[in-house]
Amino acid sequence: MSAPIVVIGGGVDALVAAHWLARAGESVTMIDERGQVPSSTSGWIPPEVIRRLDLAAHGLVIGAPDPWLSAPLPNGGRLDLWRDSARTANAMRALSAPDADRWPAFCEQMREHAAVLAALYSAPAPDVMTRDWRELLHVAKIALRTRRLGRARLESFLRLVPMSIADLLDDWFESDLLKGVLGAAGVMHLHQGPRSGGTALAFLHHHVGNAPGVFRPSHSNIEAVLARCSGVDRRANVRIQQIDVQAGRVTGVTLVDGTHIAATLVVSAASPWQTLLDWVDAAWLEPDAIRAIRNIRARGVVAHVVLTLDRAPGFAALAIAPSLDYLERAYDDAKYRRISHAPLIEARYVAPSGADATHAVIVQMQFAPYLLAEGSWDASRKQALVDTVIAAVANHLPRDAILSTQCVSPADAATDDGFPAGQAHHAELALDQFLWMRPTPSLARYRTMIGGLYLCGPAMHPGAGTAGASGMLAAQTVLGDRGQQR
């Protein structure tokens, strides 16, 4: 029997990596610092993950709300964006006829561009500096496939990548509201405004795997499904003290309670910061490596407010993002470490399920910077944020329907989930933290400077809100390296 593999961390990538390795015949112990598994996970699940882990047979459900988004109109009504692009175009006609006319072409172009990313996300990031001929072949294949897009699409893709989402949307549309709700997808979880370069890429990133014309990440029960699957020894609610290293190789993991779990291979879905700087003795790392890890940009900007309700609200998903300027001003506040006085709000309805008979609305509120210019994330500040959110959705959700409220600030996310500076993506999605640069050039291929220690999770390619892709790619890397050793 092969030596055990330890997978660290909760989250979808850890679950996928653990089950992927278990299916390959490895004995896997999973150490999950969290107590419970969330019922819903956002982001693209690579088709390979669904196939290989038989997720459909185990009850995977990917939500497809229709309309996928509603946005309040200035005059009191709502703009509904439907999964059917003709129907959306029809709804948009009242706002702007030219925008309605351009909508199908925009959706088609974004679908084509996202397909380029989907292909890049189904393999480890190309290592363009390699001397290994197999890797070079892989890079050449990507280059060739990209070339086959044809001139017009290739040029428009290359031009889009460094752009700001504001510039991209200004090229296509005139309606402030439409640009606002689409632009919101470009700044999600980012410490950037819609006029910042690279936000068009973020917009496209979150479109990967979505139906054409749907520009919000889908939600699924993948974590709940995987947590139910057998084959992995899963220990929840335990705290890690350190990752044990001898002679430059991992030997196991020691828990806070003193338990030592021996392992020849460790795969961590925790952030590179936590994994390498908190858990590994600094003596094993070069100063340059430490500096590079410290320089990974991760700045939390999102607060979540969970509202439980006695009835269903009148929407599936609601976005308050009336214009690009509105988003930009919301970001301006964050720039100076203030909570947005007029924030971007994305509210999502979660219907009662199983034993839980209450209705819920999960609100993602941006910008709520982790570091504040004045004060800290104390109870009164969180209450003020809840009040802001309730006021913002008041026209769409009767106040008397609210049974209870709960606020998760970026500071809470840092403490409870180990998110560096409260950033759920562990490393912000930006052009300098993308592909072979994600999260740092030397960590980009899931291996670390410690023998037998691997990384997966949001910080790792393609990461940042995709569900399970980095877990799969890290597991494949582990298996490939094992195969070579044997």
Partner 1 sequence: MAAPYEAIVIGGGHNGLVCAAYLARAGKRVLVLEQRDRIGGAAVSEQLFPGFTFSVFSYVVSLLRPEIIRDLELPRHGLHVLPLESTLTPLPNGDYLAQWNDHDQNRRELARHSLRDAEAYDEFGRLMHLMSRAIKPILGMPPPDPASLLPRDLMGMGRLGKYFRDLGAERFHALHKLLTMSSADYLDEWFETEALKATKSASGIIGALLGPRSPGSAYVLLHHYMGELDGVFRAWGFAKGGNGSVSTAIAAAAMSFGATIRTNAPVSQVLIKNGRAVGVVLNDGEELRAPITISGADPRRTFMQFVGAQHLPNELVDGIRRFRFRGTSAKVNLALSEAPNFTCMPGVGAHLRGAISISPSVDYLERAYDDAKYGEFSRRPYMDIILPSMIDPGMAPPGQHVMSIFAQYAPYDLKGGWTDAKRAAFGDTVIDTLSEYAPNLKTSILHRQVITPPDIERMIGLTEGNIFQGELSLQQMFFLRPIPAWARYATPIEGLYQCGAGTHPGGGVMGASGRNAALTILGKMK
Question: With CB under 8 A, what is the number of residues at the site for partner 1?
Answer: 34
Count other C-beta atoms under 10 Å from residue 35's C-beta.
Answer: 10
Is 151 a residue that touches partner 1 (CB under 8 A)?
A: yes
Burial 6-25 (b: 16+ CB within 10 A, else e): bbbbbbbbbbbbbbbbbbbe
Contacts of 150 (CB under 8 A, 6+ apart): none
Provide the minimum distance between the beta carbon of 285 and partner 1 in the complex, in angstroms, as a whole number.
17
Distance in Å, CB of 164 to partner 1, minimum: 8
430 binds partner 1 (CB under 8 A): yes
As measured in angstroms, the least distance from the Cβ of 190 to partner 1 is 10
Q: Is 390 a residue that touches partner 1 (CB under 8 A)?
A: no
Exactly one of 129, 247, 357, 379 binds partner 1 (CB under 8 A); which one?
Answer: 129
State the nearest-atom distance from the C-beta of 459 to partner 1, in Å.
17
**C-beta of 233 vs 328, nearer to partner 1:** 328
Q: According to the binding rule CB under 8 A, does residue 374 interact with partner 1?
A: no
Interaction of residue 260 with partner 1, rule CB under 8 A? no
* Nearest CB to partner 1, comparing residues 86 and 128: 128
10-16-18 Cα angle (round to 5): 75
CA atoms within 13 A on the CB side of 128: 6
Separation CA 75–CA 156 (nearest Å): 36
Near partner 1 by CB under 8 A, which window of 64-72, 117-125, 162-170, 388-396?
A: 162-170
Instruction: Based on the shown chain and the rule CB under 8 A, indicate whether residue 332 belongs to the binding site for partner 1.
Output: yes
**80 contacts: CB under 8 Å, gap ≥ 6:** 67, 69, 70, 88, 91
Return the closest-CA partner of residue 426 out of 387, 402, 459: 459
Q: What's the token pair of residue 325? A: 């300027």
Point out which span in 24-32, 100-108, 161-169, 461-469 binds partner 1 (CB under 8 A).
Answer: 161-169
How far apart CA 455 and CA 141 sit, in angstroms, is: 26
Distance in angstroms (rounded) separating the CA atoms of residues 266 and 244: 10
**Which stretch in 12-20, 153-161, 262-270, 475-483 sits in contact with partner 1 by CB under 8 A?**
153-161
Give the neighbor-by-neighbor strand order of the sheet with 317-320. 78-81, 69-72, 317-320, 344-350, 359-366, 302-309, 402-408
The partner residues of 404 in beta bridges, in order of sequence, read: 308
Of 41, 192, 466, 477, the one binding partner 1 (CB under 8 A) is 192
Among 1, 57, 144, 152, contact with partner 1 (rule: CB under 8 A) = 152
If one asks whether residue 4 binds partner 1 (CB under 8 A), the answer comes out as no
Residues 167-186 binding partner 1 (CB under 8 A) are 167, 171
User: In 10 A of CB 320, how many CB atoms?
Assistant: 23
Q: Which is nearer to partner 1, 158 or 262 (CB)?
A: 158
311 binds partner 1 (CB under 8 A): no
The reply to whether 366 sits near partner 1 by the rule CB under 8 A is no
In three-state secondary structure terms, 371 is: coil
Which positions lie near partner 1, rule CB under 8 A?
A: 128-129, 147, 150-152, 154-155, 158-163, 167, 171, 192, 195-198, 295, 297, 325, 328, 332, 335-336, 430-432, 436-437, 441
